Chain A
């Protein structure tokens, strides 16, 4: 069975500091990985997916199959980045997402 681990419940950084939200996964097949974000009083929404290899709002994430990790990074944190971040894995066909427990990012001034 697949599993997604986000070791930090809360990550607090200062504005302008680098951010790294950790995500590790276990899955025997070839994983499809995503980061979802939930801003205060908003719906859960997709931030980025590994297959696109894109940068969204300055965030990037690289899939490291050797370390089974998909950490989310941003070089300079902004106040508006404060939110709950979930790492998720899609396995098999369809839309069955396995989520990590989430990391609350707090960017302090």
Chain B
């Protein structure tokens, strides 16, 4: 079974621009979660989508948004980029979510904001 894939793997943007990251979950998985990883803050939950609906949301500003398509693929968008948005963005998928599920992580998208 193919693992979680994320595209692109690397991105360089400048302040003020916007960016869209993509995540393809494992086939059959309906829950997709996004995390931001930085050296200073560690791994922080952004949001989770399940069956095209946002089910959980972390404490990030409204510049961070996401969506999920009917095939469970998910995108996250960051508008008006700031230097502090430079991070590794991880996507994880699981069948339905919850403590009995296992979340499978993708390799991440490394975003650099100049």
Contact = CB atoms under 8 A, between A and B. Distances in A.
A98 B44 CA distance: 7
Nearest to B59: A1
A32 B44 CA distance: 17
Q: Is the interface of B mostly helix, strand, loop or mixed?
A: strand
A97 B103 contact: yes
A98 B35 CA distance: 10
Interface residues of B, number: 27
A43 B44 CA distance: 16
Contacts of A51: 99-100
B23 to A, nearest CB: 13
A46 B100 CA distance: 12
B105 A43 contact: yes
B45 A94 contact: no
Interface string A65-109: 000000000000000000000100010111111111110000000
Contact of A95 (B43, B92, B106): B92
Given A43-B107, A44-B105, A51-B100, A95 B33 contact: yes
A99 B43 contact: yes
B102 A46 contact: yes
B61 interface: no
Contacts of A86: 43
B55 A94 contact: yes
Contacts of B45: 96-98
A45 B3 CA distance: 12
Q: What 9 A-B pairs are tightest by C-beta distance, nearest first?
A: A32-B99, A99-B43, A96-B56, A44-B105, A95-B97, A101-B42, A94-B97, A94-B55, A94-B56
Interface of A: 32, 43-46, 49, 51, 86, 90, 92-102
